[in-house]
A and B are shown apart, each in its own frame.
Chain A
Amino acid sequence: MTPLNMVALLLPANDREAMLGDLEEQKQPKWLRLFAVLGFVSRQQVEYWRDWRPWLVGGAVIPATLHLLGASFRLSMDFRDLLHGGSFGMAPLYQAVLMTAWAGTGGFVIGALSPRTGWISPLLFTFPCFSCLMEFPGPVLSSLCLLLFVPPGIVGAIFGRRWMHMGLAPSLALMCATFGLMLLWHGMPRGNWPLLLPALYLAWDALRPDEGEQGRHL
Chain B
Amino acid sequence: MIGEFEYLILTAAANLGEEAYGAAILEEIRKTTGQRRSIGALYTTMKRLEAKALLKTWMGGATQERGGRAKRLVRVTPTGIRAAREFYQAMMRVSRGAAWAVLDPENAK
| Chain A interface residues toward B at CB < 8 A | 14-15, 17-26, 36-44, 47, 214-215
**Contacts known (A47-B47, A214-B51); A24 close to B41, Cβ less than 8 A:** no
| Chain B interface residues toward A at CB < 8 A | 21-23, 26, 38-41, 43-44, 47-48, 51, 53, 59, 62-63, 65-67, 69-72
- B41, A43: Cβ atoms under 8 Å? yes
Closest to A46 in B: B44
**Contacts known (A24-B69, A25-B23, A39-B38); A19 close to B43, Cβ less than 8 A:** yes
**Contacts known (A18-B59, A24-B66); A47 close to B23, Cβ less than 8 A:** no
User: What 9 pairs between A and B have smallest CB-CB spacing?
Assistant: A21-B69, A40-B40, A39-B40, A18-B72, A21-B66, A22-B22, A22-B23, A43-B44, A24-B67
Given contacts A21-B71, A40-B43, 20 further A-B contacts (CB under 8 A): A14-B59, A14-B70, A14-B72, A15-B43, A17-B59, A18-B21, A18-B72, A20-B69, A21-B22, A21-B62, A21-B66, A22-B21, A22-B22, A25-B23, A36-B40, A37-B40, A43-B41, A43-B44, A47-B48, A214-B51
Cβ-neighbour of B66 out of A25, A41, A214 (below 8 A)? A25
The 30 sampled A-B contact pairs (Cβ below 8 Å) are A14-B72, A15-B43, A15-B72, A17-B59, A17-B69, A18-B21, A18-B22, A18-B71, A18-B72, A20-B67, A20-B69, A21-B62, A21-B67, A21-B69, A22-B23, A22-B66, A25-B65, A25-B66, A26-B23, A36-B38, A36-B39, A37-B40, A38-B40, A39-B40, A40-B40, A41-B40, A43-B40, A43-B44, A47-B47, A47-B48
Closest chain A CB from B86 CB (angstroms): 21
Closest to B72 in A: A18
Query: By CB atoms of chain A within 10 A, which of B43, B44, B62, B72 has the most?
Result: B43
Closest chain B CB from A78 CB (angstroms): 49
Closest to A27 in B: B65
Residues of B within 8 A of A40 (CB): 39-40, 43-44
Residues of A within 8 A of B23 (CB): 21-22, 25-26
